[in-house]
Amino acid sequence: MRRPVVRKLSVLAVSAAVVSVGAAAPPTATTAPGTDRAPASAPAPAAAAAAAPKVPVAVGSGGAVSSVDADATAAGIAVLKQGGNAVDAAVATAAALGVTEPYSAGIGGGGYFVYYDARSRTVHTLDGRETAPLSAGPDLFLENGKPVPFAEAVSSGLSVGTPGTPLTWQNALDKWGSKRLGTLLRPAERLARDGFTVDATFRAQTASNEARFRYFPDTAELFLPGGQLPVVGTTFKNPDLARTYAELAREGVGTLYRGDLADDIVDTVNAPPVDPASGWNARPGDLTARDLTAYRVKSQAPTKTTYRGLGVYSMAPSSSGGTTVGEALNILEGTDLSAASDTAYLHRFIEASRIAFADRGRWVGDPAFESVPTRELLSQRYADSRACLIKDDAVLTSPLAPGDPRDPAPCATGGTAAPTTYEGESTTHLTTADKWGNVVSYTLTIEQTGGSGITVPDRGFLLNNELTDFSFAPANPAVHDPNLPGPGKRPRSSMSPTIVLDGHGKPVVALGSPGGATIITTVLQTLTGLLDRDLPLVDAIAAPRASQRNAAQTELEPGLFGSPLRGELEAIGHSFRANPEIGAATAVQRLSDGKWVAAAETVRRGGGSAMVVRPSK
């Protein structure tokens, strides 16, 4: 592997060199699941009304946390300071994000949890994706033979899948944690009860959802206090969510799957509490108690590919993140991106993304229902057969037809091209590491910003609209669509929580992002920026982004849309449209001296929050 050079970032030298794991052994489970496994006092609560300052990069020892929110990051750091491990910190951070980022994540949603175990030097994953009701069929979103309008499906009970987030937390703690869920929920419970400071992002996200929030009285009462948008600088409290967290802490997550909270969720989905005066047709869902009691988090092997001598691990299907990022990296493997001009680098990045998304649309779905050729999609042989489609002086036409990974043929495409379906651009990502060298990369979501818009009455959280990630109907009836709804099926996702290891099985970097289908291109671009383009981690995150998802036009952020690079790429044949913001990544990186770099956005979503336990002087 060619090592990225060390460059100055303010007064800090950040290196992407191969790293080592600290000598101390990580804690392991020695008692029954659900009990404290490390003697320590409860972690200090996150700040209440006064938010901690947001700093996008931190370097130090003892562990690290990076998220979009300072209160949430502080909750995770408090856990690490009290002797918790990376899994404990991830759960505490996620619970706090359910308070301060309620339009992006929460216990009404799901996600994917990727864990690196320092003792065994192995990567494990949990699929906590939401599932369709057991009554669902491929016609879930059809009425009179035609697809329900997307905007109408979103704000309805029809779009709500069985939540997976609470059970993901409990599964992660049972397998790898050292503290009880109840202990880890306390900072978030206090944050919900005492409040957090409203910032411009929270107000803007509320404003963008104001019209549909008013359809649902419980949502309007919570998020439009006094009938008005929350004011920047004021304190936002959610006592209902505080009580819900206290119930989960007291009774366990079982109450959400077979207790009173489960009953409330079922009632809300099947009879959405809509304001009759709004005139909104809040279509009911068909979620039952059986759907909740039958829900399981899947423990499964990660995807793995090799890039520049490093092992890249991510989520296998039902997510398409691991296969699509991995295939694109394999396509780029044959190009020396470090020596390429900015124009050539972006051209190759865009074309590799286009090809990988073409294959994603044809082959990836829930493997419990579909025959997904995961191993073949990640083979270098297949990537090479697709890479030869890329020309230096021409652009592939989208939508590009997929190849066949089961029978690779050089430069061949086959079948019918399918455009990439819309995915909500909300979601959130967090990354944690501890003093033992354990690492977590965790992406969680309620789908688009504001989810379904439906708040469970008196419970303080929004329900997801995750089922809209299914195809409503096949793009081409003559071609099998692996992402149609089915009973208990998980909709295809783009979430791409990723952990990169060196040749000795030690962590190099862990990262992820929100952003719907742009998650894949965000992770891909950040990885190549760090590993190929010599960018310090925070700069690789901050770099202006491009996103090509097998569409006629590639989306560009303003930093690229207004630059000379755009004209140089258009001269080759590229076509672009502007996107004001793509993704909101967070990451942690292990340095050669054992210290951690935590990094987050500098500007996107108001900037992120990176902290370490013991900052370097």
The whole-angstrom separation of Cα 173 and Cα 86 is 10
pLDDT tops 60 at residue 28: no
| Spatial contact of 582 and 598, defined as CB atoms under 8 Å apart | no
Catalytically annotated residue among 323, 427, 468, 528: 427
Angle at 515 (CA atoms; ends 581, 610), nearest 5 degrees: 80
Q: What are phi and psi of 464, to 5 degrees?
A: -70, 165
Alpha helix stretches (DSSP H) within 85-131: 86-100
Angle at 546 (CA atoms; ends 544, 548), nearest 5 degrees: 170
pLDDT tops 90 at residue 317: yes
365: confidence class by pLDDT, cuts 50, 70, 90:
very high
pLDDT for the residue numbered 23: 29
pLDDT for the residue numbered 426: 73
pLDDT tops 80 at residue 162: yes
| Spatial contact of 405 and 386, defined as CB atoms under 8 Å apart | no
pLDDT for the residue numbered 420: 66
pLDDT for the residue numbered 325: 98
Amino acid at 169: W
Mark 358-394 as b/e (b = at least 16 C-beta within 10 Å). bbbbbbbbbbebbebbbebbbbeebbebbbebbeeee
Q: Provide the terminal-to-terminal Cα distance of the chain, rounded to the nearest Å.
A: 30
pLDDT for the residue numbered 411: 86
Segment 597-609 mean pLDDT = 96
The whole-angstrom separation of Cα 189 and Cα 167 is 18
**Hey, what CATH topology would domain 7-21+55-101+109-195+237-301+422-615 get?**
Glutamine Phosphoribosylpyrophosphate, subunit 1, domain 1 (3.60.20)
**The pair of three-digit structure tokens given for residue 286, joined into one six-digit string:** 């068909």
pTM of the model: 0.91
Q: Are strands 439-445 and 428-434 parallel, antiparallel or unpaired?
A: antiparallel
* Nearest in space to 58 (alpha carbons), one of 434, 597, 540: 597
Percentage, residues of the chain above pLDDT 90:
87
pLDDT for the residue numbered 38: 33
Which of 78-87, 474-483, 551-560 shows the lowest mean pLDDT across its residues?
Answer: 474-483
331: confidence class by pLDDT, cuts 50, 70, 90:
very high
Task: List strand residue ranges (DSSP E) for 385-497, in order.
Answer: 428-434, 439-445
What are the tens digits of pLDDT across the range 531-547? 999 999 999 999 999 99
What are the tens digits of pLDDT across the range 550-600? 999 999 999 999 999 999 999 999 999 999 999 999 999 999 999 999 999
Segment 158-180 mean pLDDT = 98
Element of type H or E holding 125: strand 122-128
3-state helix, strand, coil in the chain (%, to 5): 35, 20, 50
Residue 570 has a CB neighbour count (10 Å cut-off) of 12
pLDDT tops 60 at residue 440: yes
What are the tens digits of pLDDT across the range 208-258? 999 999 999 999 999 999 999 999 999 999 999 999 999 999 999 999 999
Which of 48-52, 89-93, 107-111, 150-154 shows the lowest mean pLDDT across its residues?
Answer: 48-52
417: confidence class by pLDDT, cuts 50, 70, 90:
confident
Q: What are phi and psi of 483, to 5 degrees?
A: -115, 25
What are the tens digits of pLDDT across the range 270-311? 999 999 999 999 999 999 999 999 999 999 999 999 999 999
Distances (CA, A) of 121 to 309, 346, 576, 613: 16, 34, 42, 23
Q: Check residue 592 and give left, alpha or beta (phi > 0: left; psi -120 to 50: alpha).
A: alpha
| Spatial contact of 303 and 322, defined as CB atoms under 8 Å apart | yes
Q: What is the DSSP letter of 502?
A: -
4: confidence class by pLDDT, cuts 50, 70, 90:
very low
Q: Check residue 451 and give left, alpha or beta (phi > 0: left; psi -120 to 50: alpha).
A: left
The whole-angstrom separation of Cα 205 and Cα 497 is 24
- Residues with Cβ within 8 Å of 491's Cβ and at least 6 positions away in sequence, in order, are 129, 130, 132, 161, 318, 366, 466, 467, 468, 469, 470, 483, 485
The whole-angstrom separation of Cα 122 and Cα 116 is 6
What's the chain's average pLDDT?
91
Helix (H, G, I), strand (E, B) or coil at 530: helix
pLDDT for the residue numbered 242: 98
* Nearest in space to 591 (alpha carbons), one of 68, 4, 114, 120: 4
pLDDT for the residue numbered 421: 66
Is 427 tagged catalytic? Answer: yes
What does the domain layout of the chain look like in residue ranges?
7-21+55-101+109-195+237-301+422-615
Q: Looking at the chain, how many residues does it have?
A: 617
- Residues with Cβ within 8 Å of 50's Cβ and at least 6 positions away in sequence, in order, are 197
* Nearest in space to 319 (alpha carbons), one of 499, 516, 142: 516
Segment 395-417 mean pLDDT = 87
| Spatial contact of 130 and 468, defined as CB atoms under 8 Å apart | no
What are the tens digits of pLDDT across the range 446-465? 999 999 999 999 999 999 99
pLDDT for the residue numbered 40: 31
What are the tens digits of pLDDT across the range 346-364? 999 999 999 999 999 999 9
